[in-house]
Chain A
Amino acid sequence: MPILSLDPRVNRLQAEEVPAHQPPVLIPGDHWPSYQVFHQRRRGEKHSSVGIVHAPSLEIAMAMAKEQFARRGETSNLWVVCTADVLEMDYADEEVFRTTPSKSYRDPAGYKVNDKIEAYKARQSNL
């Protein structure tokens, strides 16, 4: 029995109902690699990672990225990068960063020059 629908397009397909118990058929090659998408709002700004698309090639990934991530608002440029080309750190190595938050001497707020900047600002505003 073809599917009957209120949508004339669906009726034109004359598609048969798929029995619910039928498991999905997985065909090799049907699963495309993923690509990371980077979006730039305006020229000169940085490209930011916005998500991924699955695609059979870089070019098609770009077409899909345009649809997925540049549909609304401003866009000046897009990058797509095959996820497999990204060198990722191992989460097991996360411990190398464990002590970083406590190194306050690397925090720009701790720089002595801040006093000088404040003093300079005060002088400027008194002029």
Chain B
Amino acid sequence: MMPTSLPTHPLARYLLHLADDQLVMGHRNSEWTGLGPILEEDIAFSSIAQDQVGHSLAFYEILHQRYGLDNPDQTAFNRPENQMLSSWLVEQPIGDYAFSLVRHWCYDQAVALRYESLSQIQDPALHALATKLRGEVKYHTFHAHTWMKSLLHGSEESRLRMLSALKEVWPLALGLFESWPGETDLMEEVGTTGQGWYPGEQKLQMQWQARALESMASWGVDVEASGLQRMEPVLGGRQGYHSEYLAPLLEEMTAVFRLDPQAEW
């Protein structure tokens, strides 16, 4: 595969994180299509997956037009693993439904925060895009919330399965907020021009965690006893280091593309 070089512009690199996370998450969620536990959930996960792949396309488009990255198809399907900036959370296999739901909840809460922050940007195109995509993510978080609440309040079995999935997902979810090369540059850039829309990963993580823990407490989870707050993040994705699961995913995701990389779709 032809290595495309990673964008050096901090905002471009940040948008590439967002796009890669959405692409890989969308691909994983689409794996539930036809296999969901009930028909409506099958459809829900498939629609959410479509949204996510759509969001990645929107960002790849901007990266292509403004920052000289290859066209969206090439950027999405023709990059080696070490140039993918997605987090470890999104590349993990779907696991059981508890794992997929808890991941969906953790992930989309984080996306909601990032879109809220991005919609404060002064750049008109990015502002409009973030505002548009925010609506879809509002449904994603509603869907995730509803099931989290329902299953944490459900039977003893459903509660235990959700709690154990939470412990599995949490360190991976913290990895969504890994610091990245260019982060301080972006913070300074938006800080000095008075836009201030990007608060940095640490602040985003604090906001995300506060919201998540608050919701969990409202669903009767003993947050203190759960040990979540003492967990360490799983890092690497934002630097291009990945778990064993990304390479086979890329292999599967790009199988059709590689049959004819120059094909017009």
Binding site for B on A (CB under 8 A): 7-10, 12-13, 53, 55-57, 59-60, 62-64, 66-68, 71
Partner of B31, one of A9, A60, A62, A66: A9
Given A9-B31, A63-B142 in contact, is the A71-B150 Cβ separation under 8 Å? no
Partner of A67, one of B34, B35, B43: B43
With A and B bound together, what is the CA distance between A62 and B139 in angstroms? 11
A33, chain B: closest CB distance, angstroms:
14
State the main secondary structure of chain B at its contact with A: helix
With A and B bound together, what is the CA distance between A48 and B47 in angstroms? 24
By beta carbon, the residue of chain B nearest A10 is B35
Given A8-B252, A9-B31, A13-B35 in contact, is the A68-B150 Cβ separation under 8 Å? no
State the main secondary structure of chain A at its contact with B: helix
**Across the interface, which residues of B come within 8 angstroms of A63, CB to CB?**
40, 44, 142-143, 146-147
Given A59-B146, A60-B146, A60-B150 in contact, is the A53-B35 Cβ separation under 8 Å? no
B248, chain A: closest CB distance, angstroms:
9
By beta carbon, the residue of chain B nearest A65 is B40
**B35 lies within 8 A of A66 (CB):** no
Beyond the given A10-B35, A57-B146, A67-B47, could you list 6 further A-B residue pairs with CB under 8 A, ordered by the A residue number?
A: A12-B93, A59-B146, A63-B147, A64-B40, A64-B44, A67-B43
By beta carbon, the residue of chain B nearest A64 is B40
With A and B bound together, what is the CA distance between A67 and B36 in angstroms? 14
**A60 lies within 8 A of B43 (CB):** no
A123, chain B: closest CB distance, angstroms:
51
**Across the interface, which residues of B come within 8 angstroms of A13, CB to CB?**
35
**B47 lies within 8 A of A71 (CB):** yes
**Across the interface, which residues of B come within 8 angstroms of A68, CB to CB?**
40, 43
With A and B bound together, what is the CA distance between A70 and B146 in angstroms? 18
**Across the interface, which residues of A come within 8 angstroms of B149, CB to CB?**
59
Query: Which 10 A-B pairs have CB atoms at the shortest separation, nearest pair first?
Result: A64-B40, A59-B146, A67-B43, A63-B143, A67-B44, A63-B146, A9-B31, A67-B40, A60-B146, A57-B150
Most chain A beta-carbon neighbours within 10 Å: one of B40, B44, B47, B149: B40
With A and B bound together, what is the CA distance between A57 and B145 in angstroms? 13
With A and B bound together, what is the CA distance between A64 and B31 in angstroms? 19
